Amino acid sequence: MSGETTGPKFAGASRRTLLLALLIGLAAGVLSAVLIFAPSAESPKVQTAGKALVGGPFTLTEPSGKRVTEKDFAGRPLLVYFGFTHCPDVCPAGLQVIAAALDQLGDKAKDMTAVFITVDPDRDTPEVLGKYVASFHKDIVALSGSPEDIAAVTKAYRVFVKKVPDPSSPNDYSVDHSSFMYLMDGNGEYRRHFLHSVDAAELADVLAKAIDNPAAAPDA
C-alpha cells in the first residue's frame, strides 16, 4: 500500500477508504495463506509440494525366479503391501482384505496389480513366499529378492523393518514392520495408502476408481 503518499489534502472519507482497502488487502493475504497451507496440512506427511516421497525403482524376484522391476507393472494401478510369511496376524489380515477386494473387483482386477513384498528375504525365498501368497489369492504377486533388493525397496517405500528376537524360540526371530498398503498410479507415482485393517469394500471402491481413472490426482 502507498498510504504515505496520500498527504493531508485527502478527506477523511478517502482515508477511511484507504484504511478499508488496507484491511481488505490484509484479509486477502491471510486468506491466501490459509488456502495455500490448509491442503498440505491435510495431506499425508509423505508428500511435499505434490511430489510424493514413497515409491521408486525396484528389482525383485517372482516365485518363478523371474526378475521384475517397477516397469513390469507400469501403466496400471499397483497396490503394494509389505510383510512376511511368519507374521502371526497383521499380514494375514491385510492379505485377506486384498484378496476380498480383488474378488469384489471381479474382471476389473485384471486392470491392476497387487503385490506382496517380503520384509524377511532370509526365510521368504521366492518359492516359499509364492506358496504363501497363493494361499490367499492366485492374483496377488509375491515378490522376494536378495537382502539388498529388499533393503532398497523397503527404503524406497519408507517401510519400517526391524528384526526382533522371538522370546518363545531363542533361535527364531520376528520382524517388526509397518503395515500400510500403498496405491501407486500407472506412472509409478504414490496416490494414497491404507491401513492393513481397511474395509475390503472400501479398498475395492478406491481401486475401481483408480482403474477407471488412472490419471486422477493423488487422494482422489
Q: Which residue has the cell 517405500?
A: 157
Q: Which stretch binds Ni ion (CB under 5 A): 60-68, 81-89, 146-154, 155-163?
A: 81-89
Nearer to Ni ion by Cβ, of 92 and 214: the residue is 92
CA gap 208, 104 in Å, rounded: 10
Rounded to the nearest whole angstrom, what is the least distance from the CB of residue 85 to Ni ion in the complex?
A: 9
Total residues at interface with Ni ion (CB under 5 A): 4
Distance CA 102, CA 136 (A): 11
Tell me the window of 23-31, 79-87, 102-110, 155-163 that interacts with Ni ion (CB under 5 A). Answer: 79-87
Minimum CB distance to Ni ion smaller for 81 or for 185: 81
The nearest distance, CB 208 to Ni ion, in angstroms, is 26
User: Quick one: DSSP state of residue 118?
Assistant: E
Distance of closest approach, residue 162 Cβ to Ni ion, in angstroms: 12
DSSP 108: G
DSSP H helices, 78-176, are 90-105, 126-134, 147-156
Q: Which of residues 82-121 bind Ni ion (CB under 5 A)?
A: 83, 87, 90-91
Cβ neighbors of 81 (< 8 A, separation 6 or more) are 94, 95, 98, 114, 115, 116, 117, 179, 180, 181, 182, 196
Cβ proximity to Ni ion: between 175 and 208 the closer is: 175
What is the Cα–Cα distance from 19 to 45, expressed in whole angstroms? 40
Closer residue to Ni ion in complex, CB, 122/189: 122
Q: What is the smallest separation between the CB atom of 152 and Ni ion, expressed in angstroms?
A: 20
CB 79 within 8 A of CB 98: yes
Residue 78 makes contact with Ni ion by CB under 5 A: no
**Shortest distance in whole angstroms from residue 83 CB to Ni ion:** 4
- Residues making contact with Ni ion (CB under 5 A): 83, 87, 90-91
